[in-house]
Amino acid sequence: MTEKTPEFDADSEIAFLRETPATDLLANHFFVLAQWAAVHLASSPADLVGAQLVIDVMAALLQAGGERLGANVTLYRNALAEIQQVYVRASQVANAPGAAPDANQGADPGASPDASPDADQHPDES
């Protein structure tokens, strides 16, 4: 038995986008990026290169949008800080003695092990 896939309705999609406030759309995308980073940082080995790119994009979104992102901007900043901390921990694991060679992909060997990046820092600037 095969399931019938609903056909794409461009008019409905356009109507949805017209009705969706920019702040809602950006919030959704921000948290999709956060989920992606969390999943890939929890993988073994962690995808540090991909996570670094996603974290940089999240930080850029917050920097560009600032307070215009609405009442939840503090929540977004806190989420970014949490993901940055996970990145630092994953980098430490990847750079630990005896770590698998491919676990070091993208890790910053000069990163301070006790660094804790804030919401405006690049993961490698910790």
pLDDT tens digits, 34-55: 999 999 999 999 999 999 999 9
Q: What is the pLDDT of residues 79-90, one digit of tens each?
A: 999 999 999 999
Mean pLDDT of 78-104: 84
The C-alpha atoms of residue 106 and residue 102 are separated, in whole angstroms, by: 9
The pTM of this model reads: 0.71
Residue matched to tokens 């080995």: 45
Coil, strand, or helix at residue 122?
A: coil
